[in-house]
Structure 1
Amino acid sequence: MSTRWGMTVPLGGVPLADHAAVFAALTDAGFTDLWSSEVAGTDAFTPLTLAAAWQPRARLGTAITPVFTRGPGLLAMTAAALAEAAPGRFQLGIGASSPVVVGDWNAADFTRPFARSRDMLRFLRAALAGELVDQEFETFRVRRFRLERPPALPPALLLAALRPGMLRLAAAEADGVILNWLAATDVSRALTEAKSDRPGFDVVARIFVCPTRDADYARTVGRRMIAAYLTVPAYAEFHRWLGREAGLGAMWTAWAAGDRRGALAAIPDEVVDELIVHGSPEECRDHVATYAEAGVKVPVMALVPTPELENADPATLTALLTKLGRP
């Protein structure tokens, strides 16, 4: 099948040690891919390492691993180990992340994110192929590094991208692009820049899904998420480029003035409904399918906590995942 169906793991409220059953339920529901993120929860690799052992049918990917928070050699070693544990099933998604994650939380300098992403992509391409890397990159220097255990099947390298420069870099040098925080109607705009004729070029999109019929709840949570993320300069510029100045301009103005409550109130319902998928599980599944129709090869759900999810017993959770599964 041309479209794969992904879920972000681990699921909130379920201990990692209990995820064998979750991974099995996801695969049985038609989810082909398990993708991790790396912000302030689990690291990107531990959940996928468990999945590699517990669910041999699943494809695995990171969306994303920041290019600033690990050194080049460590990132190559970590990716190589997971590629060895799940041969042919792992894709490494990298990206710049944000000043908060990189600088405030990991004590690294968030400088020249485009150049750092490009340099890390080029380094990883060589290192994961087992080559000796002894090179002065624009943003770092690597001296005589070679993996002791290069994977027999190097993982595909995907690049998270928002605006034209990074989208074009992904198309030119990566094996795929990872999109984030966009509506299904925005996909074509992004893919106009991320054009690639290379076979197997993947288009992955991380999609926030709040499976509840309580629209007021979903919009309240969605407004908080939008205010937290889309006031970050890179995401703000991304949505200006997408044409959301009219919808989000009042939020940006209030946020810049320190009026957090006003910023939340300024976010229109229609913007929340575009960016946060909500409704019954079946409605959410069908909405996510519109991303695939727009050109996304791997729509990846990221479940937003709801009261129902937080209190779900294993049978209820399995039933929900089944309803969200690939149509």
Structure 2
Amino acid sequence: MKLGLQLGYWGARPPANAPDLVRAAEEAGFDAVFAAEAWGSDAFTPLAWWGSGTSRVRLGTSVVQMSARTPAACAMHALTLDHLSGGRFVLGLGVSGPQVVEGWYGQPFAKPLARTREYVDIVRKVLAREQPVSNDGPHYPLPYQGPGALGLGKPLRPITHPLRADLPIWLGAEGPKNVALAAEIADGWLAIYYAPRLAPMYDEWLDEGFGRPNARRTRENFEIAATCQVVVTDDAPAVRAHLKPMVALYIGGMGAPGMNFHAEVFTRMGYGEVVADVGRLYQAGRKDEAAQAVPDELVAEITIVGTTDEVRAEVARWEAAGVSTLLVGCWDEASIRAVADACHPVKQVLI
């Protein structure tokens, strides 16, 4: 099992200890460091700034929102960071949701699957640098010929030669169609709130994508990176209680009423009544009560919390369910070392 440090996105200000966490993760044998974005800090800049002090770990986005930048601009970010890191960059992409896409970026959210397919295709054309990049699709036409166009646009190739034409692209996906699309066109799946119990269902979605004509990968060389809070502790109930407010936020506050993809994940897990209660309380401004309405068993399904031996056994179970990387958030350097000590022996045993 590989480990990735999930730095996430910032709150009101940058985290003060991020450089120490990144350094500790590399020293502890973590495979990667990831950064995210919502509607504040971006995902690329922290990797360039804090990643400059690393030499081995992969640097990935989990995720950058497609509506935040055009495919060509995203490819420019990716090829730049790949050069600066010596070929260690992983481009994680996601569509976000209508509240952010239409409310923050001022872009239409419709047809997210078609937009994703077209976006990834353009990014790959830029990275391949085989010919000037053009696109006839309706979402990202190149050259642009719509309203306001001067008609002077021309297809271009990137001035900078990309370091890797096959730079890995992973997709953040939650629903069956998006997960199947990831298996078809991407190099990995960024899973949020993965539950090993539902691995057979995920496998069906993935197999649909792998079975499509011209699928890019097979099960054997496709990466599944699951966001999972891993905490080594003798007081699991207290830690799970500490994690509940964030779960409540994603169920009740990180999506539009009637279209919250995170809430749908928990509904598929069988927690439909919980989702309804948490959503109602959160949207009424009763956030503490919403967190209290999240049951312990739900948190236990999507996290790994316990003693070293318990964590070790759970990591093996997640790996058996198909997960190749755990993306973990750690509060301090001691937590990073504890997670590494608990997880790495599993890998040694399996070898």
Structure 1, residues 231-279: CA drift from partner, whole Å, max 9, x if none?
Answer: 3311122222333325534334545666545433322111122223333
Contact 2:231–2:339 (8 Å) recurs in 1: no
State the Cα distance separating 1:301 from its structure 2 match.
1.0
Give the equivalent residue in structure 1 for 2:171: 159
1:194-237 Cα shifts (integer Å, max 9, x gaps): 13353522111111235554445423332211221123311122
Map Cα deviations across residues 150-186 of structure 1 (whole Å, 9 max, x no partner): 3131311111111111111111111121111122323
- Corresponding residue for 1:299? 326
After TM superposition, the runs of 4+ consecutive aligned structure 1 residues lying more than 6 A away are: 10-13
Aligned residues: CA RMSD: 3.0
Question: Is 1:184 paired with 2:205?
Answer: no
Q: Which amino acid aligns with 1:139?
A: H
User: Which structure shows the bigger proportion of residues in strand conformation?
Assistant: 1
User: What letter matches 1:226 in structure 2?
Assistant: V
- Structure 2: distance between partners of 1:48 and 1:176: 19
Unaligned runs of 5+ in 1: none
Query: Identity over aligned residues, as a percent?
Result: 28
Query: What's the secondary structure of 2:34's corresponding residue?
Result: strand
Deviation per CA, 1:281-301, whole angstroms, max 9, x where unpaired? 664455344322211112211
Distance in 1 between residues matched to 2:34 and 2:279, nearest whole Å: 31
2:118 equivalent to 1:91? no
Instruction: Give distance in 1, aligned partners of 2:41 and 2:308.
Output: 26
Distance 1:209 1:43, change over 3 A: farther
Alpha carbons 1:52, 1:85 under 8 Å: kept: no
- 1:236 maps to 2:293: no
Q: Which 10-residue stretch deviates more, 87-96 or 195-204?
A: 195-204
8 Å contact kept, 1:29–1:325: no
Q: Which letter does structure 1 place at the counterpart of 2:161?
A: P
Which amino acid in structure 2 is aligned with residue 127 of structure 1? V
**1:31-57 Cα deviation digits (max 9, x unpaired):** 122222222564212232245532222
Structure-2 residue corresponding to 1:326:
344
1:56-101 alpha-carbon deviations (Å, 9 max, x no partner): 2212221111111112221110011011223432221101123344
Task: Please give the alpha-carbon distance, in whole angstroms, between the structure 2 residues aligned to 1:120 and 1:145.
Answer: 16
Matches within 5 A, 1:1-327: 3-9=1-7, 15=16, 19=19, 21-40=20-39, 42-50=41-49, 52-130=51-129, 131-143=131-143, 144-154=155-165, 155-195=167-207, 196=210, 198=218, 200-231=221-252, 232=255, 233-255=260-282, 260-280=287-307, 283-284=310-311, 286-303=313-330, 305=331, 309=332, 316=334, 319-320=337-338, 322-323=340-341, 326-327=344-345
Normalization by structure 2: what TM-score?
Answer: 0.77
The one-letter code of the counterpart of 1:278 is V
> Greater Rg, structure 1 or structure 2?
2
Q: Distance in 2 between matches of 1:211 and 1:41?
A: 30
- CA spacing shift, 1:255–1:293, aligned 2, 3 Å: same
Q: Structure 1 residues 42 and 258, CA, compared in 2 at 3 Å: closer, same or farther?
A: closer
Could you give the per-residue CA deviations for residues 111-170 of structure 1, whole angstroms, max 9, x where no partner exists? 332222222111111111114222232322221242111313131111111111111111
Structure 2: how far apart are the matches of 1:324 and 1:200?
A: 25
Separation in 2 of the partners of 1:224 and 1:42? 21
- 1:213 touches 1:278 (CA, 8 Å); kept in 2? no
The residue identity in structure 2 corresponding to 1:150 is H
Partner amino acid for 1:121?
V
After superposition, the Cα gap between the structure-2 partners of 1:319 and 1:194, relative to the gap in structure 1 and judged at 3 Å, is closer
Gap change, CA 1:288 and 1:37, over 3 Å in 2: farther
Distance 1:161 1:127 in 2: 23
Q: What's the CA shift for 1:318? A: 6.4
**2:177 aligned counterpart, secondary structure:** helix
Aligned length: 314
TM-score, structure 1 normalization: 0.82
